[in-house]
Chain A
Amino acid sequence: MTLSDTLMLAMRLEEDPAYSKEHSLEQSRELERFLGGVERRAFRIASIAVRNDDDALDIVQDAMLQLARRYSDRPAAEWRPLFYRILQNRIRDFQRRAKVRAKVIGWFSIGPAERDEQADPYEAVPDPAASAVDRLSTDESMSKLEAALSLLPGRQQEAFMLRNFEGLNVAQTAMAMGCSEGSVKTHYSRAVRTLREQLGYD
């Protein structure tokens, strides 16, 4: 871009704020449609992975914020794999921190339940959100599926949920997981085999 182009562009933006505003609104509407379409599914994926609804909400919110802040100016077609990549990174970070926390708690010989009670006395108060979890747990099949998924290694779980639940193709899943397409196929295949055994599909 030449100096004169820069000056002309700056002058146009100065003189025609309506143009800039209209462009911004259209992009904002498109991102809202995208996020509205994926947020519930992303929440369920996160809640299955971290086994806690509040943590899953935090993870999804963080993923949405990161997408809006960093990638909203990218083509809309790229948002889906980018969003799931951010989501999976957040889930992995959470699981890593949970492991470290569990180790530290183990060193100090404090049980997780006891620590939770010390940290947050409001944990004992009945949470209205629990009703949702209870409602889901009444669905025996879903409960069994979640239990079986939780036993899978992390990468297999990711591959299965992104490919099967979200319908991402192999290339998109590879991008979301940050690995090769071959690895995705391997993880997915092993996940299906294990789940078939666990859920009695043999």
Chain B
Amino acid sequence: MTEKHDDGLETHTRALFDASVESLDSRTRSKLTQARHAALAEMRPAQRRWMQTWIPLTGVTAVAILAVWLGLGQSGAIKPSSEAGELPLDDFDIVAENANLELLEEVEFYAWIAAQPVSSHGEHSG
């Protein structure tokens, strides 16, 4: 079925249509401009959606990495170090466990014990 049968109908009707578009009244043009601006305002949140998706995902990933790292530390795969500047995992366990709260409450006492000089009999003096 061919479409090549323009005997003036297509050209004439297209010209009529174009003329009717050009003669649109100012109220309609104004409404269309408002509609366009409203549509463009809707576009911006759609673009931000990308960031709204990825940035929280990045946060979740960072938390997951931290959790895995701590898990490896507890299982012994990462040796806790008492070197200055490194995280002492044993101390972290102490802080995390409720059972050792009494120890934390008496930490000053144990610090004092540790500071006492040891006698020749293996006992703290004082």
Chain A interfacial positions (CB closer than 8 Å to B): 3, 6-7, 9-10, 13-14, 20, 24, 27-28, 31-32, 35-36, 39-41, 43-44, 53, 57, 60-61, 64-65, 67-70, 72-73, 128-129, 131-132, 135-136, 139, 141-142, 145, 161, 163-165, 185-186, 188-189, 192, 195-196, 199, 201
By a CB distance below 8 angstroms, the chain B residues around A186 are: 1
Interface set, chain B 8-28, CB cutoff 8 A to A: 8-10, 12-14, 16-17, 19-21, 23-25, 27-28
Q: What are 17 A-B contacts with C-beta separation under 8 Å?
A: A13-B54, A13-B55, A31-B40, A32-B36, A35-B36, A64-B39, A68-B39, A68-B46, A72-B46, A136-B20, A136-B23, A142-B17, A164-B14, A189-B1, A192-B5, A195-B9, A196-B9
Shortest CB distance A64–B (Å): 4
By a CB distance below 8 angstroms, the chain A residues around B97 are: none
Q: Which residue of B lies closest to A14 (CB)?
A: B55
Q: Which residue of A lies closest to B47 (CB)?
A: A24
**Is the C-beta of B35 less than 8 angstroms from some C-beta in chain A?**
yes
**Contacts A40-B24, A188-B3 supplied; 6 other A-B pairs, CB < 8 Å:** A20-B51, A64-B36, A67-B39, A72-B43, A141-B16, A163-B3
Interface size class of B (residues with CB under 8 A): 35 or more
**Is the C-beta of B121 less than 8 angstroms from some C-beta in chain A?**
no
**Is the C-beta of B75 less than 8 angstroms from some C-beta in chain A?**
no
Complex: how many Å from CA A35 to CA B32?
Answer: 9
**Is the C-beta of B98 less than 8 angstroms from some C-beta in chain A?**
no
Q: Which residue of A lies closest to B45 (CB)?
A: A69
Known: A142-B16, A164-B13. A68 touches B24 (CB 8 A): no
**Is the C-beta of B86 less than 8 angstroms from some C-beta in chain A?**
no
Verify B54–A10 contact, CB threshold 8 A. yes
Complex: how many Å from CA A189 to CA B9?
Answer: 12
Do most interface residues of chain B lie in helix, strand or loop, or is the interface mixed?
helix
By a CB distance below 8 angstroms, the chain A residues around B3 are: 163, 185, 188-189, 192
Shortest CB distance A19–B (Å): 12
Contact pick for A164, options B10, B25, B43, CB 8 Å: B10
Among A9, A24, A64, A141, the one with the most B-chain Cβ atoms within 10 Å of its Cβ is A64
By a CB distance below 8 angstroms, the chain B residues around A14 are: 55
Verify B35–A196 contact, CB threshold 8 A. no
Complex: how many Å from CA A184 to CA B68?
Answer: 59
Known: A39-B35, A57-B32. A139 touches B55 (CB 8 A): no
Shortest CB distance A185–B (Å): 5
Verify B7–A132 contact, CB threshold 8 A. no
